[in-house]
Chain A
Amino acid sequence: MTDASVFGATKPAPVETEALTLMLGDRVLLDRATLRVERGQVLAVTGGAGSGKTALLGALAGRLPAGIDMAGTARVDGHLLIAQGGRLAPRRPLALQVAEVVGHHLGLDLRSSLRRMADGLDRMGVPAAARRFDLPPEQLPESLRWACLFAMAVAVGPVVLLADAPAAGLDPTVRLRLLHRLADWARADGVALVLAGRPEDGLAGPADRVLALRRARLLPPNPARTEPLEPLEPPGAARLHARGVGMSYPLAPGPGGTARSLPVLHGIDLDLRTGETLALLGETGSAKATLARSLLCLPPPTAGAVVWMGRDLTATATPPAAGDARGDDSDRGGVRRARRDLQPLFPDPAASFDPAMTIGTQFSLVLESLRPDIAADRRDHRIDEALEEAGLRPEAALRWPSALSVAEAAHAGLARAILSEPRVLVADEPASSLSAEERETFLDTLMGVRDRRRLSLVLATERYDEGLRDAHRGVVMLAGRVVESADAGTLRTAPLHPYSRAMLAAAHGERPALEGDAPSAFAQPAGCPLRRRCPLAREFCAQAVPTLEEVAPGHHVACHYWDTPADG
């Protein structure tokens, strides 16, 4: 019997379960869980994909998903369920949906419902200008859509609020800000709040109590690994250099046929040393993925140069003009040699495999192209070795990409990357499609491979703490610029830029000190791109884009007021 928690049993709690068991066919999702959530208490239930979180909330809400059988008892007082993905009708004006939900629960008319909704939006920190009740949800930004859902729950004022994967998919700083506001409301109004989501979604931060759904039981969560698996070795000499790397995407011509482009990456300078792990940190729109791809020249950057072992890759990787005889060269400018040394890991590993070939055939092609020195009859052996090193069985080579699970595809992607025995891995959110244990297993495997082969690693991720955990150095990016760069220890303990501090706070589950959303790449504010969200912003921030300045040896910050207190 899982006795999750027993609070004072004098007064019935709004959420109580007794030996609650959930079965999916012959698989036990939840085994005899006893649970009690008091008024004003926030409980977070975490678990990986398919662990049964949605089924648990469905059981509590009295709406079991199809195919789930339930035993035991669950008593939940006047509840409201925010379903996974926040199900609002995408094309129906928000006002009508609010009136429908609030009116259904409280019997109010449209005007009163909208007034209560406006109060709810105030509590979610949504500025008045952003309240467009006449818009359909599909025209609202994702964060505002979630704020509206939470505000609708506030307007209804249930005794128990059940939220399945709340604010999932939002940037960590935005998600944590909303979740903290929701938890504040629950505590202030005495609502029992149950949040369910993946462990990496940061639900534990605003919660009073956290339970992990693991092996069909509700248990206290395992503490996440905070230190590297092996002590990091000091890096060697710098081999990969990026100088003034920039990327612009062409836009449709403007009036008068003037050429237009959208710059997304602005003059990045970077050095990567042998055996060094560099974390590229940033949220949506920070251009960390663009920088990662620019380092691989996939595609080559539109400005600046990427130099690998003294060879300018930008010039050699640019496709030759039509009719250029160099295009027939088997290794034009040594670019194939550089590809052998620099290998990528993709954010969607399943999509990075050709669906029309087996894994083994694709691996053979890689070897044929990058390692012609390996004889054809030795390729299978090499492929088996790479698969085993990446944590897969050699039989995986016989499978088609569509037959791989997400985790297997991620490991197969790692195996392909190490096939050519590269010196640098450039990983762009390589575990973003994985969750919980699968994620940890993959990252552990990746770090194991790195340590064994003494690889340099560029790891682009939005997970601040996780990215820095195994890194020597970190670079924090915002709107295509580096805003802070320092050794990993400094960034994990004492970052100076307000954006880095907010990311660190979000990674620890604390309330980030940033308001609002990141601006669109098409509507960047003049001056500092963070100034509309930043607690340190002053008038001067609109005048000039801050440049990187060295505030301590090896520690660079791009902020006009990094040393000024927020209230100064």
Chain B
Amino acid sequence: MAEYDQPPLSHPVPPETPRAGFARGLSGAAILAALALACAAAPLMADGSAVHRLDADPVAAALLDGRGSLSFALLAAVLGGLLGIGWALLAGILGTLAGNRAERRTIAAAQRMAGWPLALLVPLAGGLMGPVWLLALVTALTAAPAVAALAHAELSSLMRAEFLTAARAAGLPEGEVVRRHLIPNLTRPLLAAGVLALPRVLAAESFASLLGLGLPPALGSWGASVGLAARLGDPVAFVPSALLLALALWAACAIADGIAAGHRKP
């Protein structure tokens, strides 16, 4: 039956179409979770008791290496995300207290540094410093500027949102505007900016380990096994580690994209 009329003003709620990027983010999260579980269960796949990566089959060895890569990436990403978000919030607070100039300068430093090849600092730190926590801190610092720049852009765009003006027009004091409107709307963009650190630190650590200047051999790393297999000319050892690393990088990027796309307007 042909329909001539326009829909009435208050029509029933149409079913929400899934937003772009949601499926990709979900796939990324599923893949990363599966990888993490597989890596955690890897010792069971090796022949029972003591685990010797060189003796294990290539897939089990790659999964064992993933334990080091993924846990280090998670630690560095949390640190990097927190540092970047803190940087963006600091710029915002400085802007409120000391004027736009202080805010611009604080965030301009992050924007400039985000364009530098900071990933080169990771092998440098790996070569010069011993402790893993120090390496994690340096890796986190390489990701923080990009996170800060993105988080600040999201924060600035939100601060100009019309609904905040509408809240002020409703007589809400600034504290209430921040508590009821700004913070609930800020959580997701900041999370999206923070998740951006995960693929960056994973790539930086793998790059450093590929050169032999990353995580200590006892921890294991996909980058280190790819580098070793390449040096030995062993394609059977090379392929599983390289594939798992590529899959983890794709999954981390997909999660970041999915969260970023989720809070944008359709």
Contact = CB atoms under 8 A, between A and B. Distances in A.
A365 interface: yes
Contact of B4 (A215, A351, A352): A215
Interface in A408-445: 408, 411, 416, 420, 437, 441
Contact of A355 (B14, B174, B176, B185): B185
Contact of B174 (A31, A319, A365, A399): A319
How big is chain B's contact interface, by range?
35 or more
Nearest to B163: A354
B99 to A, nearest CB: 9
A403 B171 CA distance: 26
B97 to A, nearest CB: 7
Interface string B2-35: 1111110111011010000000000000000000
A343 interface: yes
Interface in A314-350: 319, 322, 327, 335-336, 339-340, 343-344, 346, 348
B185 A356 contact: yes
A343 B9 contact: no
B170 A370 contact: yes
Contact of B10 (A23, A327, A348, A393): A393
Contact of A298 (B165, B173, B176): B165
B10 A369 contact: no
Contact of A352 (B101, B163, B174, B180): B163
A343 B169 contact: yes
A403 B266 CA distance: 11
Contact of A354 (B3, B13, B101, B181): B181
A391 B169 contact: no
Interface string B136-178: 0000000000000000000000000111011111111110100
A387 to B, nearest CB: 9
A346 B162 contact: yes
A335 B169 contact: no
Given A346-B162, A353-B163, A408-B9, A298 B3 contact: no
A126 interface: no
Contact of A346 (B1, B11, B166, B168): B166
A83 interface: no
B9 A411 contact: yes
Contact of A339 (B161, B163, B169): B169
B71 interface: no
Given A348-B162, A365-B180, A403-B14, A26 B1 contact: yes
A31 B9 CA distance: 24
A268 interface: no
A370 B171 CA distance: 6
B166 A352 contact: yes
Nearest to A328: B173
Interface in A138-163: none
20 contacts: A27-B4, A28-B2, A31-B4, A250-B100, A327-B173, A339-B170, A340-B171, A343-B169, A344-B166, A346-B166, A354-B185, A355-B265, A357-B184, A365-B167, A365-B170, A369-B170, A369-B172, A391-B9, A392-B10, A411-B9
- Rank and list the top 3 A-B pairs by shortest CB-CB distance, nearest first: A339-B171, A336-B171, A393-B10
